[in-house]
Each structure stands twice: as C-alpha cells, then as structure tokens.
Amino acid sequence: MNFTRNSEIEQDFQLREQNRHREFAPVWDETLEAVFADVAPYYDIASDVASLGLCSAWRRRFTRAIGVGAGDRVLDVCAGTNGVGIALLARQPDIKVTAIDRSAAMQAEGGRRAKARGFSIESHVDDVHELPFPDDSFDVVTLQFASRHLRVIDVFSEIRRVLRPGGAFYHCDMLKPENPAVRRLYGMYLKGCVAGTAMMFGSGNEARSCRDYFVRAIELFYSEAELTRLLNGIGFHQVTSDSAPGGILAHHRAVKPQAV
C-alpha cells in the first residue's frame, strides 16, 4: 500500500483509507472475486432490479456526460461487463477502448456483449491498484460503480499517472449521503435490496454473505464533497460533480493538469 506518498492528501483521508483497508481487506482479497464470478451472467439486470431502474438511468446519464472524440484512447477501470465501453463505442465508434478488471468471468461476459454489438474492446484481467500501462497513455479514463471496493487513493493516483496531461477522469459511484437520516434509510434499503436480489436470482453463498459488507462499504466511503476534495488532493484540477437527490450517488469529472 502506498497511499501515504502524497502529502497534499488530507491526513483524515489517509486514515480513513487505512481503516477501510483494515476492515474490508478480507472481503476485497478473498470474497469479491467469487461474488462477481457468480453474478456475471445476470449482473446488469440484477443491479437494475435492485435499484428500481436508478442504476441504468445513472449509467446512461454518466456515459452521456463522458466527452470522447475521434481517435481517443479510453481506459475503463473495473470495467465489469463492459457497459461503459460499449455505450461509448455506440456513440463514437472511432475510439480505442481498453478494459481492465480482476474478474475473468465479468470480462468474458463483457467480451461477448461487445462482440455481439460488433465492437472490439482490449481486455486486461488484472488488479487495478497498479495499472499495467505507461504514463500519459490515455485521453480518458472511466471508473463506474467499483471504487467502494478499492483503495481509492492508490487507484486514483494510478489513474492520474496513466492519463495524458489535459486528459479527463470520469467517476461514478454510490456515495455516502451527508445527511444521517438519509444515510440510515439508504442503508436499510440497500440491505433489503441485496437480500431480495440474491433470492430472486439464486445467488451463491458469497453474494448472500456480502449483505452487511455492501452497506458498511457505503458507511465508510466518501460523500460527494469529500470525493471532490480527495481528487484535488491527488492532483487533479477542474473537478466538477453531479449528484442524485440525497447525494446517494454522484458523477465526478477531474482533469490532469497540463504542467505536472
């Protein structure tokens, strides 16, 4: 872990990252891969059902907000079933999309989906805490619905490294609502959702056992404003965001400065 390397990052964030890692390492290192292998075939529909359509509405809104031009090199981090890459290629076929995700099952499903639409996405099955790409090698980097499962300071620092100066990072995830009452309601709703979806889709034991983790991961995560401060601390600038009511999820856009 190297998240203390940037002294611009507030100490509070560094401590919170240590706490997240301490509490979640067993799930991150041992359970999540089995969960995503299990849910890969029905991941997209299950997340839609669980969120009553909110997820797909925000996915569409997120991909619409991503600025890509002809010839752009796009990296989708934690690409899962390639939802972001496929949506971007449908809008602008003249881009090169690279996907990275630790789950071979999610990427196999994503490869099938891309092929069915006539698209080609370069796939890397690997952990994203150290990105296997040279510095400054992408114009756009995206990361959707996965940061809660990551050491974010490390991954965001890697994303900044592989982006070219002037390139943009687009982030979307469920976040920690600022308001404690909203936070409590959101937690109860999430617990019910995970249990209901697991039953409906016949998920395996790993997915069922993660019910408490999914709620706790949000409790220890960042709010929209905190994520903005964190991105600035990591060395991005022009950070903007757009959130759903109550701050339950948000998009951020952050630019790597030209002169670094």
Q: What angle do CA 169, 176, 186 make, to 5 degrees?
A: 130
- How many residues does this entry show for the chain? 260
Please report whether residue 103 would count as binding ligand SAM according to CB under 6 A.
yes
Please report whether residue 239 would count as binding ligand SAM according to CB under 6 A.
no
Q: Which of residues 68-87 bind ligand SAM (CB under 6 A)?
A: 78-81, 83
d(CA 157, CA 146): 16
Whose Cβ is closer to ligand SAM: residue 211's or residue 229's? Answer: 211
Whose Cβ is closer to ligand SAM: residue 37's or residue 232's? Answer: 37
Binds ligand SAM (CB under 6 A): choice among 24, 138, 145, 221 = 145
Per-residue tokens: 49: 């059902």
d(CA 204, CA 163): 38
CB atoms within 10 A of CB 164: 15
Whose Cβ is closer to ligand SAM: residue 205's or residue 258's? Answer: 205
Whose Cβ is closer to ligand SAM: residue 145's or residue 236's? Answer: 145
d(CA 255, CA 234): 11
Whose Cβ is closer to ligand SAM: residue 37's or residue 185's? Answer: 37
d(CA 155, CA 130): 7
Q: Which of residues 16-55 bind ligand SAM (CB under 6 A)?
A: 32, 36
Number of residues binding to ligand SAM, judged by CB under 6 A? 19
- Minimum CB separation of residue 129 from ligand SAM in Å reads 6
- Minimum CB separation of residue 150 from ligand SAM in Å reads 6
Whose Cβ is closer to ligand SAM: residue 128's or residue 255's? Answer: 128
Instruction: Let me know: does 164 contact 137? Beta carbons within 8 Å.
Output: yes
Helix axes 83-91, 54-65, angle to 10 degrees: 50
Task: Give the binding site for ligand SAM (CB under 6 A).
Answer: 32, 36, 78-81, 83, 101-103, 106, 127-129, 144-146, 149-150
